[in-house]
Structure 1
Amino acid sequence: MNAYIFPGQGAQFTGMGLDLYENAPLAQELFEKANAILGFNITDTMFEGSADDLKETKVTQPAVFLHSVILAKTMGDRFKPDMVAGHSLGEFSALVANGTLTFEDGLQLVSQRALAMQKACEIEPSTMAAVLGLDDHIVEDVCAKTEGIVVAANYNCPGQLVISGELEAINRACETLKAAGARRALVLPVGGAFHSPLMEPAREELAAAIENTTFSKPQCPIYQNVTASAIMNEVAIKINLISQLTAPVRWTQSVQQMITDGATLFTEVGPGKVLQGLVKKINRDAQTESATI
């Protein structure tokens, strides 16, 4: 069975999407439509902007989404998913790919999500840190015992968990985790504490936008970050998507469940190969590839 997976923030690179724009008329049309929807020429930043330009949240999230979704659409009849999943932001790309959201609605939501998250980041100094080489339950235990807000945010693969929270709490947790035997506990260069309770203002803002958006019956199951299980019901999809900003990304569990449910090939659709690497670390026998036009 074919599983199509969609990357999140951090997968962006300078020049992303230019090959699609130059080689596929449909891609050109969709990129121009995106410029009109967003009200600025995101293509200029994607194709010619610096790494710093691309790092701006209001640009990064729509850029990664557009690269993924437009690549999927230009594949035409070769795009035949039996199941889909996306890492954090990538869940929106996956929902367009399986027909739950239209291209236009997906882009609007992603843009609103980026702006809401940016606002939430400005309320309180917060960040995330990657923890390598410890069992999940040890990391969870340290977070629970650390003073302040700090939680497990991204279950990326066994031995790689990202924590998220208040600046001081993250620093305290990192010291404790190193003492507990973590190979690394490294603060990440991100704008804020994504997938933590500190994203509650953004969750509330995005919830209203999601409630007002039409969700259609998906063409194949999506394995959502919040539940790590196959979802086909559009009402449930909506509820999980609203919870996503303050809940952890259960990527390890999602991939494991997809394999249990029959996934034999994981095709990464979008910039980079980060998810393919994670899939291999979750199950080294899994087959992976990059989508091409």
Structure 2
Amino acid sequence: MNAYIFPGQGAQFTGMGKDLYDNSDIAKKRFQQANEILGFDITKIIFEGTADELKETKVTQPAIFLHSVILAEVLGDSFKPDMVAGHSLGEFSALVANKTLQFEDALKLVSKRALAMQKACEKQPSTMAAVLGLEDHIVEAVCADVEGIVVAANYNCPGQLVISGEVKAVEEACERLKERGARRALLLPVGGAFHSPLMEPAREELAKAIESTPFATPMCPVYQNVSTFAVTDPEEIKKNLIFQLTAPVKWTQSVQNMVSDGATKFIEVGPGNVLQGLVKKIHKDAVTEAAKFD
């Protein structure tokens, strides 16, 4: 069975999707639509902007989403998912690919999400850190023991967990995790504490937009970050998407469940190859490849 997976923030690079734009009328139309919906020339920034311009949250999230969904669309008849999943932001791409969300609706939600997260980041200094070489339960226990807000945010693969929260609490957790034997515990260059309770203002803002957006019955199940299991009910998909901002991304568990349900090949749709690497670490026998437009 083919599992199509969609990357999140951090996978972006200048020039991504230019080949699609140059060789596909569908892609050209979608990029132009995006410029109109967002109210600025995101196509120009994606193709010609600096790494710093592309790193702005209001640009990054729609940019990665665009690359992923346009690539899935131009694959045409060869795009035959038995199941889909996305890492954080990538879940929105997955929901367009499996026909739960319309392109225009999803792009508006992604843009709202990016701006709401940016606003939440500005309210309180916060950060994230990558922790390597420790079992999940040790990281969870250390976070629970630290004063202030710090939680497990991204379960990326065994031995690789990202924590998120208030700056002081994350720094304290990093020191304690090193004492417990972490190979590395280092702060990440991010704008704030994604997938933590500090994103509550953003979750509330996005919830209203999600509630008023039509969700259809998908063509195949989505394995969501919050629940990790196959979901096909539009109302359940909606609920999980709302809680995604303050809940951890359970990528390890999602991939394990996809494998249990019969996934044998994982095809990454979008920029970079980060997810392929994570899948291999979660299930070494899985076949992975990048989606390609000929």
Common fold, TM-score beyond 0.5? yes
Deviation sequence 1:2-58 (CA, Å, 0-9, x none): 000000000000111111101111100110011111010100110000110000000
Name the counterpart of 2:37. 37
- Once the two structures are superposed, the pairs formed by residues 178-189 of structure 1 within 5 Å of their partners are 178-189=178-189
Letter matched to residue 241 of structure 1: L
Name the counterpart of 1:128. 128
Name the counterpart of 1:154. 154
Name the counterpart of 1:222. 222
CA distance in structure 1 between the partners assigned to 2:163 and 2:96 by the alignment: 28
SS at match of 2:113: helix
Q: Is 2:60 aligned against 1:60?
A: yes
SS at match of 2:101: coil
SS at match of 1:14: coil
Deviation sequence 1:238-290 (CA, Å, 0-9, x none): 00000000000000000000000000100000000000000000011000000
Name the counterpart of 1:170. 170
SS at match of 1:100: coil
Relative to the length of structure 2, the TM-score reads: 0.99
CA distance in structure 2 between the partners assigned to 1:101 and 1:280 by the alignment: 29
CA distance in structure 1 between the partners assigned to 2:276 and 2:48 by the alignment: 26
Letter matched to residue 82 of structure 1: D
Name the counterpart of 1:292. 292
SS at match of 1:176: helix
CA distance in structure 1 between the partners assigned to 2:275 and 2:155 by the alignment: 12
Deviation sequence 1:183-224 (CA, Å, 0-9, x none): 000100000000000000000000000000000001100000
CA distance in structure 2 between the partners assigned to 1:183 and 1:24 by the alignment: 45
CA distance in structure 2 between the partners assigned to 1:79 and 1:255 by the alignment: 20
SS at match of 2:80: coil
Identical-residue share of aligned pairs (%): 75
SS at match of 2:35: helix
Letter matched to residue 139 of structure 1: V
Cα RMSD for the two superposed structures: 0.3
CA distance in structure 2 between the partners assigned to 1:189 and 1:205 by the alignment: 25
Deviation sequence 1:55-87 (CA, Å, 0-9, x none): 000000000000000000000000000000000
CA distance in structure 2 between the partners assigned to 1:48 and 1:17 by the alignment: 11
- Once the two structures are superposed, the pairs formed by residues 1-293 of structure 1 within 5 Å of their partners are 1-293=1-293
Unaligned runs of 5+ in 1: none
Letter matched to residue 248 of structure 1: P
Letter matched to residue 59 of structure 1: V
Relative to the length of structure 1, the TM-score reads: 1.00
SS at match of 2:217: coil
CA distance in structure 2 between the partners assigned to 1:266 and 1:183 by the alignment: 28
Deviation sequence 1:119-171 (CA, Å, 0-9, x none): 00000000000000000000000000001000000000000000000000000
Unaligned runs of 5+ in 2: none
CA distance in structure 2 between the partners assigned to 1:54 and 1:146 by the alignment: 34
SS at match of 1:240: helix
Number of residues of Structure 1 aligned to a counterpart in Structure 2: 293
CA distance in structure 2 between the partners assigned to 1:19 and 1:106 by the alignment: 23
